[in-house]
Amino acid sequence: MSVYTRLGDGELRSLLAGYDLRLEFAEAAPHGIENSTWLIRARDEQDCPRPVVLTVFERFTDEGLWPYLTLLTTLAEDGLPVPAPVADRAGRLLQRVAGKPAVLVPRLPGRHCFKPETEHCRQVGALLANLHRQPPEPARALPDERERLADLSEHLCRLSDSDQRHARRLLRHWRKVAPGDTVIHGDLFRDNALFDEQGRLTGVLDFYNACLERPEYDLAVALNDWAVSPEGRPVPRREAALMAGYRDAGGVWETAVLDLALAVAALRFWLSRLMGPVSGEAEGQGSKDPAEFARIFGYRFDALGELS
């Protein structure tokens, strides 16, 4: 995750003191594009290590963040490997840092896997099945993904004439698919999952695109990252592993809806990357390359055949 809001060690020490933590070391997280995030080594009052993560939100308001914090707390209580927000000594989950909302969460163990094998994909599928079984009530107040997609579609003019025609045809078909009532992650890319040294899934991060939608859409988002080649081509063995993990953990889907969702999800992230933040003041990754999802969209749309 990039850093757009800069903080010195003194500011971090002051913030951590409210949690009875002592700063040892902090660095900008290297992946992601939307918020300012620090990986922090700290110690508690008993001098025990307490690794934590601080995220300063560049776009959210306090009110807009609360539904996500509620969802994360609920999922963690239900045993999913997610980072629930930590309360300070006054019981506050939400802080103000540089005039912006901020949250401290535990740093979950593990590392990102950027060269996934079939077993990684199988576990991602199983995790999604477990997430999709969660009751929808904690996510009722979250934004509507269809509305987000409609807002992004205002920027279709940035695509070529041919891609615009394909995108508009695709979206007409997607609007005919009834929205779902399933809790989805909406952004389960490789940089939002952690695995230990034995290859076991230990954490799922960044639920700030979570919402209620059809499970096929969440599967499509994951498949378009975990099961494609660097050129954007689908990798069948990884696709099969992810879907097998999902099925074996009790997940169900409609194949025709999934096929459509694969192209829709590719279009959504192509457009969001075209509109993504690019700041000369940022440390870290900055905006990701939209061309990656342009290629994926091409393959996914072509796989649909003729859309009337």
When pLDDT is averaged across residues 70-97 and rounded to a whole number, the result is 97
Q: What is the pLDDT of residues 221-252, one digit of tens each?
A: 999 999 999 999 999 999 999 999 999 999 99
pLDDT bracket for residue 32 (50, 70, 90): low
When pLDDT is averaged across residues 150-154 and rounded to a whole number, the result is 96
Q: Are strands 36-43 and 22-28 parallel, antiparallel or unpaired?
A: antiparallel
pLDDT of amino acid 275: 86
Paired strand residues for 211: 184
Query: Does the structure show a pLDDT above 70 at 124?
Result: yes
pLDDT of amino acid 286: 40
Model-level pTM? 0.93
3-state DSSP call for residue 128? helix
Q: How far apart are CA 246 and CA 203, in angstroms?
A: 17
Q: What is the CA 123 to chain-centroid distance, rounded?
A: 16
pLDDT of amino acid 1: 44
Q: How far apart are CA 238 and CA 219, in angstroms?
A: 13
Angle between helices 291-303 and 215-226 (to 10 degrees): 120
Q: Which residue, chain included where needed, has tokens 């990357």?
A: 273
Q: Which residue, chain included where needed, has tokens 């969460």?
A: 105
Q: How far apart are CA 248 and CA 240, in angstroms?
A: 12
pLDDT of amino acid 241: 98
Report which secondary-structure segment, H or E, holds 27. strand 22-28
Side-chain-facing half-sphere of 231: CA atoms under 13 Å:
4
Positive or negative, the CA dihedral 267, 243, 121, 205 is: positive
When pLDDT is averaged across residues 42-56 and rounded to a whole number, the result is 97
Paired strand residues for 102: 56, 95
Q: How many percent of the chain have pLDDT more than 90?
A: 88
Q: How far apart are CA 196 and CA 173, in angstroms?
A: 41
* Strands, E assignment, the chain: 22-28, 36-43, 52-56, 95-97, 100-106, 182-184, 193-195, 201-204, 211-213
pLDDT of amino acid 3: 65
pLDDT of amino acid 307: 81
Chain mean pLDDT for the chain: 93
